[in-house]
Structure 1
Amino acid sequence: MPPQQGEGQGCADSEVDVPSSRLFTWEEIRLRNGQEDPSRERWLAIDRKVYDITRFHKRHPGGSRVICGYAGQDATDPFIAFHIDKTLVKKHMKQLMIGELAPDQPSFEPSKNKLLVEDFRELRSTVEKMGLLKPNPLYFLVILLHILLLDAAGWFVLWYFGTSVTTFIIATTLLLISQSQSGWLQHDLGHLSVFSHPKYNHLVHEFVMCHLKGLSANWWSLHHSQHHAKPNCFQKDPDLEMHPRVFSLGKPLSEELGRQKKKYMPYNHQHKYFFITMPLIVVPWFKMFSIYFVFQRKLWRELAWSVTYFIRIFITFVPLLGVNVVLGQLFLLIILESILFTWISQLNHIPMHIDYDGNMDWFSTQLLATCNVNQSFFNDWVTGHLNFQIEHHLFPTMPRHNFWKVAPLVKSFCAKHGIEYKSKPLFSGFADII
Structure 2
Amino acid sequence: MSAQQQYASMYTDLLRTVRELGLFRRRQGYYFTRIGIVGGALAGVVAGMILLGNTWHQLWLAGALALVLVQVAFLSHDSAHRQIFHSNARNDWTARILAGCILGMSASWWRSKHNKHHAAPNQADRDPDVQLKVLAFTPEAVVERGPIGRWLAARQGWFFFPLLTLEGVGLHASSLRHLLRKDASRADRIDAIVIASRITAYVAALYLLLPPGKATAFLALQLAVFGVLLGAAFAPNHKGMPIVPAGSKLDFLRRQVLMSRNIRGGIFTDFAMGGLNYQIEHHLFPSMPRPTLRRVQPIVREYCELQGIAYSEVGLFASYRIVVDYLNNVGLRARDPFDCPLAAQLRSSGRNLA
The normalised TM-score by structure 1 is 0.68
Report if the CA contact (8 A) 1:179-1:213 is conserved. Answer: yes
SS of residue in 1 equivalent to 2:239: coil
Counterpart residue number, 1:289: 174
Counterpart residue number, 1:234: 124
CA shift at 1:322, angstroms? 4.5
1:175 maps to a residue whose letter is: L
Counterpart residue number, 2:56: 165
CA shift at 1:268, angstroms? 3.5
Aligned pair partner of 1:221 in 111, 116, 132: 111
Aligned length: 317
2:209 maps to a residue whose letter is: L
1:247 equivalent to 2:135? Answer yes
SS of residue in 2 equivalent to 1:360: coil
CA shift at 1:261, angstroms? 8.7
Cα 1:329/1:258, change in 2 over 3 Å: closer
Cα 1:137/1:304, change in 2 over 3 Å: farther
Report if the CA contact (8 A) 1:210-1:302 is conserved. Answer: yes
Counterpart residue number, 2:344: none
- What are structure 2's unaligned runs of at least 5 residues? 325-354
Report if the CA contact (8 A) 2:84-2:289 is conserved. Answer: yes
1:272 maps to a residue whose letter is: W
Counterpart-to-counterpart distance in 2, 1:202 and 1:309:
19
Counterpart-to-counterpart distance in 1, 2:159 and 2:68:
28
CA shift at 1:351, angstroms? 1.6
Aligned pair partner of 2:156 in 257, 270, 288: 270
Counterpart-to-counterpart distance in 1, 2:191 and 2:11:
38
Aligned pair partner of 1:150 in 30, 37, 41: 41
Counterpart-to-counterpart distance in 2, 1:417 and 1:341:
34
SS of residue in 2 equivalent to 1:165: coil
1:293-372 equivalences in 2 (<5 Å): 293-296=178-181, 297=184, 298=186, 299-310=188-199, 313=202, 317-322=206-211, 325-357=214-246, 358-372=248-262
- What are structure 1's unaligned runs of at least 5 residues? 1-105
SS of residue in 2 equivalent to 1:265: helix
Counterpart-to-counterpart distance in 1, 2:244 and 2:83:
29
Counterpart residue number, 1:396: 286
Report if the CA contact (8 A) 1:206-1:305 is conserved. Answer: no
Report if the CA contact (8 A) 2:265-2:316 is conserved. Answer: no
Counterpart residue number, 1:130: 21
The normalised TM-score by structure 2 is 0.82
SS of residue in 2 equivalent to 1:200: helix
Report if the CA contact (8 A) 2:63-2:221 is conserved. Answer: no
CA shift at 1:280, angstroms? 3.1
1:41-52 equivalences in 2 (<5 Å): none
Counterpart residue number, 1:63: none
Counterpart-to-counterpart distance in 2, 1:286 and 1:412:
37
Counterpart-to-counterpart distance in 2, 1:150 and 1:340:
17
Deviations along 1:57-106, whole A, 9 cap, x unmatched? xxxxxxxxxxxxxxxxxxxxxxxxxxxxxxxxxxxxxxxxxxxxxxxxx6
SS of residue in 1 equivalent to 2:174: helix
1:224 maps to a residue whose letter is: H
CA shift at 1:342, angstroms? 1.5
Report if the CA contact (8 A) 1:189-1:204 is conserved. Answer: yes
- The alignment yields a C-alpha RMSD, in angstroms, of 2.3
1:189 equivalent to 2:79? Answer yes
Report if the CA contact (8 A) 2:59-2:217 is conserved. Answer: no
Report if the CA contact (8 A) 1:210-1:216 is conserved. Answer: yes
Deviates more, 1:321-330 or 1:187-196: 321-330
1:248 maps to a residue whose letter is: A
Cα 1:258/1:327, change in 2 over 3 Å: closer
Report if the CA contact (8 A) 1:373-1:388 is conserved. Answer: yes
- Between the two proteins, what is the percent identity of the paired residues? 23
Counterpart-to-counterpart distance in 2, 1:375 and 1:271:
24
Deviations along 1:291-335, whole A, 9 cap, x unmatched? 011122142331343245236535764543256644542333222
Counterpart-to-counterpart distance in 1, 2:52 and 2:158:
41
CA shift at 1:337, angstroms? 1.2
Counterpart residue number, 2:96: 206
Counterpart residue number, 1:280: 165
Deviations along 1:109-147, whole A, 9 cap, x unmatched? x553x4433122011012122221222222111121222
Counterpart residue number, 2:32: 141
CA shift at 1:403, angstroms? 0.2
CA shift at 1:282, angstroms? 2.9
Deviations along 1:237-269, whole A, 9 cap, x unmatched? 0011122xx4221xxx21x35677964424343
Report if the CA contact (8 A) 1:188-1:400 is conserved. Answer: yes
Counterpart-to-counterpart distance in 1, 2:252 and 2:319:
24
Larger Rg: 1
Cα 1:210/1:408, change in 2 over 3 Å: same
Cα 1:258/1:157, change in 2 over 3 Å: closer
